[in-house]
Amino acid sequence: MPESFVDRIKRFMGLLADTIRKRIGLIRVYRIYCYEVRVSGFVIPPSDVRKRDIYRPHTCIQFELSFEERPYFRTLISNFKDAKDRYEKELEKLVSEQEERAIKEFAFRPTIRVEAKKYPELVDKFLKVASDKDMEEYERSGRRYIKIPDRPKFVVEAIDFEEVEFFDVEEGKIKEFKAFDDGIFKLYRPYDEMPYIQWRVPFLHDLS
């Protein structure tokens, strides 16, 4: 049904009233900045398969965590350097959390022998999937040791923030001052331009 003349007037007056309220500070407006973010580095293999003590970054598997799709990485911080300083530690922690995911995605499969009491939540899982050889070793140790997947080490080399766009949001439309942004984690073989495996990384973080 077409909007009537009276309805158009009401809508116009409502928008005018909101504009006036914003200008005099009765409605607060926040500017949200959207950054394209890239966290990159290299992967040190799990201890069981390391062939040397020192690894040169360019010869290792490379990784990249990127927020490169709209709405990108959102924050109230207007300066890219300040934004990087603010979120650097959280992004590094997010990268380290992907070490476990790398095992699940079959990027790395070696195991290590650890004390069972240090990993009580994994003992039942071990008993369900252990090979005969692993079970024999487990029994010989007096049920003290189990084998669990070893984790690679993701070493962060660079974190880059590049502003893409911004938009304004009224105070009432921001409930918890948090953003749920969706990143992509990629693993590359040395000198390859295309990742050989990748997965989505949802990231809940404060806007400031």
pLDDT values of the chain reduced to their tens digit, one per residue, 208 residues:
555 654 454 443 444 434 444 444 567 889 999 999 999 999 887 765 556 556 677 778 899 999 999 999 999 999 999 999 999 999 999 999 998 787 665 445 557 788 999 888 888 888 887 888 889 999 999 999 988 777 788 999 999 999 999 999 988 878 789 999 999 999 998 889 999 889 999 999 999 9
Provide the pLDDT for residue 41: 96
State how far the Cα of 70 lies from the Cα of 183, in Å rounded to an integer.
Answer: 10
* pLDDT for the residue numbered 100: 79
Q: How far is CA 110 from the centre of its chain?
A: 24
Q: Which pLDDT score is estimated for 157?
A: 97
CB 112 within 8 A of CB 150: yes
Q: Where do the structural domains in the chain lie, given as residue ranges?
A: 5-110+150-206
- Rg (Cα) of the chain, in Å, rounded? 25
Beta-carbon contacts of 194 under 8 Å, excluding residues fewer than 6 positions away, are: 188
Predicted local distance difference test score (pLDDT) of residue 109: 55
Cβ-based burial of 153 (10 A; exposed 0-12, middle 13-18, buried ≥19): middle
What's the whole-model pTM score?
0.70
Q: Which pLDDT score is estimated for 159?
A: 98
